[in-house]
Amino acid sequence: MADTAGVRVLYTGDYSREEDCHLCAAEIPQFSPDICVIESTYGVQLHQPRNVREKRFTDVIHSTISQGGRVLIPAFALGRAQ
């Protein structure tokens, strides 16, 4: 957070309040900024539960490999690659 001329500005990158395999859930700050700038990739998206998405993802991989295929997984962000 930056304080400029008495105005508290908080900038944060993309975050999630949902815990996952490699990152803790974002914590709520103990202060109230006057201005908050948030990067958001999926800010207004509703997703299926993580376990449903992971099952669908792994099912496709298993099916492809069992049929002799190969799987290439493009990742546009570090969190996706991990």
> According to the model, what pLDDT value does residue 34 have?
92
Would you state the structure tokens that stand for residue 64, as one six-digit string?
């492809």
> According to the model, what pLDDT value does residue 60 have?
96
The pTM of the full predicted model, rounded to 2 decimals, is: 0.51
The ranges of the chain with pLDDT < 50 are none
| Residue 15: CB atoms within 10 Å | 13
Please give the Cα distance from 52 to 50 (Å, whole number). 5
